Amino acid sequence: MSKESGVLAENGKSYFKKILFFAIPLMLTGVLQTLYNAADLVVVGRFEGELALAAVGSTGSLTNLILGLFMGLSVGAGVCVAHSIGAKQDKGVSEILHTSVLIAIIFGVVVGVIGFFLAPELLKLMDTPENVIDKASLYVRIIFIGAPGSILYNYCAAMLRASGDSKRPLLFLTVSGLINVGLNVFLVAVLHMGVAGVAVATIASQAASAVLAILYLGKNKGPLRFSFRKLRIHKDKMKKILIIGIPSGVQGTLFSLSNVIIQSSVNSFGSTVVAGNSASANAEGFFYVVYHAFYDCALTFVGQSAGAKKYGDIKKIVIYSMLNVLIFAVILTTLGVVFKDFILGLYLPDNPEAMASASLRYNMIVIPYSLCGLMEIASGALRGLKRSMSSAVISLIFACLLRVVWIATIFKLYPTPECIYITYPISWVLTAAVLLIFVVQAVKKEIALQKVLQIQYKHPLP
């Protein structure tokens, strides 16, 4: 096992700094990705107007819904890599890598076909406004053509992060993001391709990131060395990936499903509110990716600690991850509130009605967003402990189901955008609390089991 393959701390006191340094490239990766996605909306909004902005923004929850299950399986690949690295099983890492790449390619083709043919009809079921549905359908169909590249990159990035390398995904995304922005401006501002131009730029950049990841893995000197000759599905590794990944994918799909229902409710207020909602949701993405970086930290550090049987370190990992989230929350919330008008104005120039709608959502989501970060850490820790099913069930009950029931009951009594947006912080608090309880219980169970095994080893039964 190469020295750089793991990120386990040498002692508990160094976890805070190691988590922070591991998280920073993840944050920058997420910020860049969000920045490039924001560029899609800014370019299309400025050169094509409010309807084009609403068309692109209204498809996000639907694409996440269809892609969610298959993207979630990348978590299974990452956790399996982390456990094998913690247990110093180089052969296992290689088999997981080649199994995962092949799975990603197959799933990418499947989800691309499904999304291309079903997405337009699903947009109608979401009550997408009539004046934007044609543009939205065109955009989403092109996006699903690029699904194989998007899914393959996410699998490769998940495995690199699980090995302790959070810098390479940042580099790949920087290059692909520049391609995205350049193509955006050329296809939309110069060739006037509208939403089709934004979609083509997106899938081209996703394909570029996938190619860069594969090329790097092909030259890797460690256990994560990719070779086309070794490309095959190892049934035992695929089983482990699916056992961990399917609940994670289902959880992501359920979150997306609840967001689709929420988006459908937002759509009922018309294109102006949809445009404001889209602008704010995209701006909030910058906050989310910072907090989500600590999810990947928890998943990687806990996964490697569990693989190495160092269960006593997990409490420190979770506490220091949460402390980092709270520190960043103070900084981000302050900056977010101070520069709110400037940020939202980038999306909605000279549109006071849509700006007011965006500001309403922004205030209700950004200020309590750190609660989502705490929820993400607890979820990552539970998955790192191979309790992916528990994480999925808890999220189903206390986040997804709560949002759906809320829309079906409370929202019917108080049909306002505020009533929709308040469901987010409420679900974050409840889900985080229950997830943390399960993390504590899981760690206690593993420590107790380890003690029992040690006693049996020293004093075997006659």
pLDDT per residue over 207-266, tens digit each? Answer: 999 999 999 999 988 889 999 999 999 999 999 898 888 888 777 777 777 777 888 888
pLDDT band at 3 (very low <50, low <70, confident <90, very high): very low
- pLDDT, residue 351, reads 80
Query: Does residue 50 carry a pLDDT above 70?
Result: no
The C-alpha atoms of residue 395 and residue 415 are separated, in whole angstroms, by 25
- Output helix, strand, coil percentages for the chain, rounded to the nearest 5: 85, 0, 15
| pLDDT for the residue 6 | 58
| Position 336 pLDDT exceeds 50 | yes
Q: Which residue has the higher pLDDT, 4 or 222?
A: 222
Contacts of 279 (CB under 8 A, 6+ apart): 41, 45, 53, 57, 344, 347, 348, 354, 358
Average pLDDT over residues 54-60: 71
Q: Which one-letter DSSP state was computed for residue 89?
A: -
Alpha-carbon distance of 145 to 204, in angstroms, equals 10
Residue 130 has pLDDT above 90, yes or no: no
Which pLDDT does position 334 carry in this prediction? 95
pLDDT at 268 over 90: no
* Percent of all residues in the chain with a pLDDT value above 70, rounded to a whole number: 92
Candidates 363, 376, 361, 391; CA nearest to 428 is 376
Q: How would residue 356 be classed by pLDDT, with cut points 50, 70 and 90? A: very high
Q: How far apart are CA 143 and CA 61, in angstroms?
A: 13
What rounded mean pLDDT belongs to the chain?
85
H helices within 49-132, ranges in order? 50-57, 60-86, 90-125
pTM given for the model: 0.75
Q: Both tokens of residue 38?
A: 């924001």
Q: Using 50, 70 and 90 to split pLDDT, how confident is the model at 460?
A: very low
User: Could you read off the pLDDT of 367-385 as tens digits, one per residue?
Assistant: 999 999 999 999 999 988 9
Q: Using the structure block, give the residue that is written with the tokens 């506490």.
A: 319
CB distance 104 to 322 below 8 Å = no
Instruction: Tell me which long-range contacts 91-96 makes (C-beta under 8 A, separation of at least 24).
Output: 91/223, 92/237, 93/163, 93/223, 93/224, 94/223, 94/224, 94/225, 94/230, 95/234, 95/237, 96/159, 96/234, 96/237, 96/240, 96/241
∠ CA 214-218-222, nearest 5°, is: 120
Of 69-73, 81-85, 453-457, minimum mean pLDDT range: 453-457
Top pLDDT among 20 and 133 is at: 20
Higher pLDDT, 410 or 35: 410
Whole-number pLDDT of residue 365: 94
Please, which pLDDT band fits residue 58 given cuts at 50, 70 and 90?
low
More confident residue, 124 or 432: 432
Mean pLDDT of 345-350: 81
**Per-residue confidence (pLDDT) for residue 61, from 0 to 100:** 67
Please give the average per-residue pLDDT across 137-151, as a whole number: 89
Q: Are 354 and 362 in contact (CB under 8 A)?
A: no
pLDDT over 90 for what percent of the chain?
38
